[in-house]
Amino acid sequence: MQLIQRNAPHIRHSDNPKTLMGDMILTLLPLYVLAICFYGFRVLITMTVSVLSCWLCDMLCSLLRRRFFNFRDLSSIVTGLIIPLVMPATVPYYVVLFAGMFAICAVKHPFGGTGENLFNPAAGGIAFAAVCWPAKVFAYPVPFTTIPLWDTSSVLTVTSTAHTLKMGGLPSADLNDMVLGLVAGPVGAVSILVLLACLVYLSIRRTIPLVQPVCFLAAAALMAFAFPRADISRAYSVLYELMSGSLMFGAVFMLNDPVTSPKRTAARAIYGFAAGIVTMLFRYFGAFDHGFAFALLIMNALAEEFDYFMVVGAPKLFGSGRKGDAA
Amino acid sequence: MAMKTQPRKGVYLQQFKEPALSREIRQFFNTSASEALVGSPVTKSPEELTPLEVIDIARQAGIVDERDGRPLYKKLEKARERGVKTVVVDALDDEPYVSSQLGVLLHLREEVSAGLKAAAMAAEAANKTIVVYKNLTDAEVRVPSSIDGVRVVRIGGKYPAESHIGRDLGLREGYVTLGVCSLVFLSRAITSGQMQKSAFITVAGNCIANPTNLEVSLGMSLSQVLERCGLADNPTRVVIGGSMTGISIMDTDKTLVSPTTRAVLAFREDEKERNYTCIGCGRCTASCPVGLDPMFIYRAVKSRRFSLLVPLRAAECVGCGTCSYVCPSKLPLSITIGKYRKTDGEEEE
C-alpha cells in the first residue's frame, strides 16, 4: 500500500479552470454560429486568425518568460474568441491578428500571465484596434450580405446605432430587429436575446457572478434614462443605449473576467455600477462609438481598490461590520 | 428559542453517509468481548447518584469527549462552575462520509438517552437538546424528531455546521456541547462500571468494500481496522478524521485508534496535480463561513507580506477547508492560511 501524504480537504469540487473557461467557450460558440448565418464563412477565418494569434502568442510569451505553458489553460483561447465578436464582419485579418498579439504580449504577459494580469486582455486588444484602425473597426456591413473572403472594399458598410446615438441623431433601427440582432453592428454583439441567454447560462453555472452585470446594466440604464442623447423618450433611450454597440456583449463576456474583477459580492456590485457609469461617460464624451473596452480598462486598474475598500476601508467607516459572532 | 436569520455562508456537500449510517454498529475488539465488557461492580442505581458522583464516575472511567479530546469530567465540572442551562448533544457529522456520531445516536438510543440524563443532572442543566445535520438527503434511515422526550434539532445544511452550533440554536452562552459517543460511555460506566476502552468510528471511502460504523478497541492499528472492513482497491490516501479536515497518514500500522478518532477513510484517486494558478473567480470568498478572503490571505502569505494578515483577519480562520474544497485551481488555501490562525482555545468562552 503506497500512501501519499496530502493536505485536507480530501474531497474537492469537480470544477477546475478548464471547466470555467470551457463554459465561456461554449457560450461564445452560438454567437459564431449566428454570425456565420448573417455574414458567411469569413467570420470563421477571422475567428481562426484571432484564436491562433492569441494562443501562439501565449505559448511564445510563456516560453520567453521561461514559464511552464499549461496546455489546459484555455484563457487565451477565450480572449481570441472574444476579439472578433466586437469587430465588424469586414474587418481585415491583420487587425484581429495584431489585436490578439497586443492582447497577449502587451496586456497579459507583462503583468504575469494567466491569473495575474491587471487588465482584461481582450479589452486591451479591442482598444488597440479601435485606436489604430478606427475606420476599419467602426464600419459595419448589413446582415445577410455575404462578405468576400479577401477583398472587402466593395462591401457596402454603414454605421451602427451606437454611432447614430453618438452623433445625436435619431436611431432608426427597429427594436424587434435589435433584440434579434438583425441590425448592422459588431459580429457577435448584436444578438441581444442570445447574449441574455448566455448570461443566464453562465450565472446558473456560477461561472460569472450575476450581481456584477446586473449592476452594470442598471447603472447604464439609469444614465440613459437621466440623460437621453437623442430627442427620444427616456424609455426608448434606455433600450437603444443598452442594445447598441458592445455594451451587452461586454457585460456578459468581458466585465466578468474572473481575473480582473473584484472578489467580494458587495465590491462586485459597486464595481459593476461604477463600470456602467464610466462606460456611459465614454459614450457621451469619448471619441469612439462604443467606449466599453476603454471604460473596462480603467475599471480594471481600480478593481483591487474596490476589494481593498470592502476589506479594510468599510469596516473602519461603518464599524466592524460583523454581527452575531458571540460565542 | 429565537433563531437568528443571518444568512450563513458555506457549501453544500454530497454526504456519502450510506451505507455505513443505516447499518448496525458492529464491534471489533482486540480483547475478548467478555473481558471488554467487565467493569467494576455497580453499587448504586443510576437514579440515586449525585452530580458529583457522576463526575467522579466519568473521571474514573477515563471518558474522553470525541469532539475536542477533552476529558468528559472536566467539561462537566466546568459546566457546573459556569452554571450552564443547556446541554447540547452533538450528533452532527457535517463532513461527508462520516456518520459515527449520527449512527450512534440512531442505533444506541437508550444508552445515549441514559447518558444524557446523567450528564444533564451532573451539569445541573435544565434543558437538553440533540443537534443533527440538516443536509441528510441520502440517508436511508429516518432521524426522529425527539429521542426519549429530548428534542432533536436539525441545523445547518451547509458545511461547516459544527463550529456554529450555538449560533444556529440561538444560544449565546450558558450551554455545553457534549459528543454523543462520550454519553454512551458515560451511560455504560454508570450502569456497569466500564472504563472507556473503545471508540466509535466510521470506516468508509471509495476503497472500502464494506463501509460501516464500528466500535473499535482503543489502540487498534488502522491496518487492522481497514482489514476488518475489506479493501476493494489499493488506497493512495488514508485519512484519519473527516474528509474535509482529517489528517492524511503515511503508515497504517503505526497509527492507532484514539478516543478522538471519528473516522478512517481510504481513498484512491487518479487525479494528478494540474499546476493551475489562481484565476480569481472569488468562490473561496463567496463560501468562507467566517467571511474571510482566502485568496487574498493566500496571496499575502505567498508574497510574504505578513502585515496584511491583520486587516485580512487571517487569525479568524476556523480551518474548515471550504475554500480549498471549492477552489477550481485546487490551491492549498486552507492549509496555508491555517498556519496563521489562532491556536484552538478552550471553546465556549
- ipTM of this predicted complex? 0.85
pLDDT of the residue at B5: 40
Take residue A313 and report the three cell numbers written for it.
476601508
With respect to residue A213, please indicate whether it lies within any of the assigned structural domains: yes
Radius of gyration of chain A (CA): 21
B36 vs A171 pLDDT, higher one = A171
Take residue B54 and report the three cell numbers written for it.
457522576
Task: Indicate the SS3 state at residue A33.
Answer: helix
Determine whether B321 is exposed, middle or buried from the number of CB atoms within 10 Å of its CB (0-12, 13-18, 19+). buried
**Residue A165 · residue A229 · CB < 8 Å:** yes
Distances (CA, A) of B135 to B11, B139, B326, B342: 11, 9, 18, 29
pLDDT of the residue at A323: 42
Looking at every residue in chain B, the average pLDDT score rounds to 85
Domain that holds residue A266: 17-312
Q: Does A317 touch chain B (CB under 8 A)?
A: no
With respect to residue A48, please indicate whether it lies within any of the assigned structural domains: yes
Residue-wise pLDDT for B266-279, tens only, equals 998 876 777 788 88
With respect to residue A2, please indicate whether it lies within any of the assigned structural domains: no
Nearest residue on chain A to B8, alpha-carbon basis: A324
Residue-wise pLDDT for B276-290, tens only, equals 888 888 899 999 988
Using CB atoms, pick whichever of A20, A263, A265 lies closest to residue B328. Answer: A20
pLDDT of the residue at A53: 96
**Residue A105 · residue A84 · CB < 8 Å:** no
Question: Number of residue pairs across A and B with CB atoms under 8 Å?
Answer: 145
Q: CA dihedral in degrees (A265, A266, A267, A273; nearest 10)? A: 110
Nearest residue on chain B to A15, alpha-carbon basis: B328
Checking if the pLDDT of A233 tops 70, the result is yes
Give the residue-averaged pLDDT of A215-232: 91
Percentage of chain B exceeding pLDDT 70: 91
Query: How many of the other CB atoms lie within 10 Å of CB of B291?
Result: 13
Q: Which fold is adopted by the domain B26-192?
A: Rossmann fold (3.40.50)
Residue given cell 456583449 in the structure block: A249
pLDDT tier for residue A320 given thresholds of 50, 70 and 90? low
Using CB atoms, pick whichever of A4, A115, A268 lies closest to residue B237. Answer: A4
Give how many domains chain A has, as a whole number: 1
pLDDT of the residue at B202: 94
Taking Cα atoms as reference points, which of A96, A226, A244 lies closest to residue A171? A244
- Which chain B positions have a beta carbon within 8 Å of A69's beta carbon? none
Among B268, B276, B329, B337, most A C-beta atoms within 10 A, so best to mutate, is B276
| Beta-strand pair B237-240/B263-267 | antiparallel
pTM of the model: 0.86
Per DSSP, A106 falls in state I
pLDDT of the residue at A287: 81
pLDDT of the residue at A298: 94
With respect to residue A271, please indicate whether it lies within any of the assigned structural domains: yes
pLDDT of the residue at B343: 53
Take residue B154 and report the three cell numbers written for it.
436539525
Residue given cell 460501516 in the structure block: B212
- Which chain A positions have a beta carbon within 8 Å of B311's beta carbon? 311-312
How far is the C-alpha of B202 from the C-alpha of B242, rounded, in Å?
A: 9
C-alpha A95, offset from chain centre = 18
Per DSSP, B332 falls in state -
Which ranges constitute the DSSP H helices of A40-69? 42-64
Give the residue-averaged pLDDT of A309-324: 64
Percentage of chain A exceeding pLDDT 90: 51
Give the residue-averaged pLDDT of B169-185: 86
| Beta-strand pair B212-217/B263-267 | unpaired
CA distance, residue B342 to nearest chain A CA (Å): 15
**Residue B236 · residue B267 · CB < 8 Å:** yes
Print burial letters for A49-60: b (CB count within 10 Å at least 16), e (below 16). Answer: bbbebbbebbee
Residue-wise pLDDT for B19-53, tens only, equals 888 888 888 887 665 555 555 666 677 778 888 88
Task: List, in sequence order, every residue forming a beta bridge with A141; answer none if it has no partner.
Answer: A157
**Residue B317 · residue B243 · CB < 8 Å:** no
With respect to residue A116, please indicate whether it lies within any of the assigned structural domains: yes
**Residue B175 · residue B166 · CB < 8 Å:** yes
pLDDT tier for residue A310 given thresholds of 50, 70 and 90? confident
Checking if the pLDDT of B345 tops 60, the result is no
Checking if the pLDDT of A268 tops 50, the result is yes
pLDDT of the residue at B240: 92
With respect to residue A207, please indicate whether it lies within any of the assigned structural domains: yes
Q: CA dihedral in degrees (B337, B266, B99, B261; nearest 10)? A: -70
Nearest residue on chain B to A71, alpha-carbon basis: B274
Checking if the pLDDT of B347 tops 50, the result is no
pLDDT tier for residue A30 given thresholds of 50, 70 and 90? very high
B272 vs A136 pLDDT, higher one = A136
Residues in chain A: 327
pLDDT of the residue at A136: 87
How far is the C-alpha of A60 from the C-alpha of A64, rounded, in Å?
A: 6
Give the residue-averaged pLDDT of A216-221: 96
Distances (CA, A) of A159 to A129, A135, A229, B31, B152: 17, 10, 17, 89, 69
Using CB atoms, pick whichever of B4, B237, B285 lies closest to residue A6. Answer: B237
With respect to residue A296, please indicate whether it lies within any of the assigned structural domains: yes
- Which chain B positions have a beta carbon within 8 Å of A70's beta carbon? 274-276
Residue-wise pLDDT for B60-86, tens only, equals 889 999 888 899 999 999 998 888 888
Residues in chain B: 349
Output the domain CATH number for residue A100.
1.10.3430
Taking Cα atoms as reference points, which of B74, B143, B68 lies closest to residue B112? B143
Using CB atoms, pick whichever of B248, B295, B348 lies closest to residue A6. Answer: B248
Residue-wise pLDDT for B80-117, tens only, equals 888 888 899 988 888 899 999 999 999 999 899 999 99
Using CB atoms, pick whichever of A9, A19, A311 lies closest to residue B311. Answer: A311
Percentage of chain B exceeding pLDDT 90: 26
- Which chain A positions have a beta carbon within 8 Å of B321's beta carbon? 8-9
pLDDT of the residue at B14: 86
Give A203's Cβ-side CA count (13 Å radius). Answer: 15
- Which chain B positions have a beta carbon within 8 Å of A8's beta carbon? 239, 244-248, 321, 324, 334-335
Helices B51-60 and B180-192, packing angle to 10 deg: 100
Give A133's Cβ-side CA count (13 Å radius). Answer: 18
Residue type, B150: V
| Least confident piece of the model among A156-165, A300-309, B323-332 | A156-165
Long-range contact pairs involving B75-83 (C-beta distance under 8 Å, separation at least 24)? B75/B176, B75/B178, B76/B119, B76/B122, B76/B123, B76/B176, B78/B176, B79/B123, B79/B125, B79/B176, B80/B51, B80/B55, B80/B122, B80/B123, B80/B124, B82/B174, B83/B124, B83/B174
Taking Cα atoms as reference points, which of A137, A133, A122, A140 lies closest to residue A77? A122
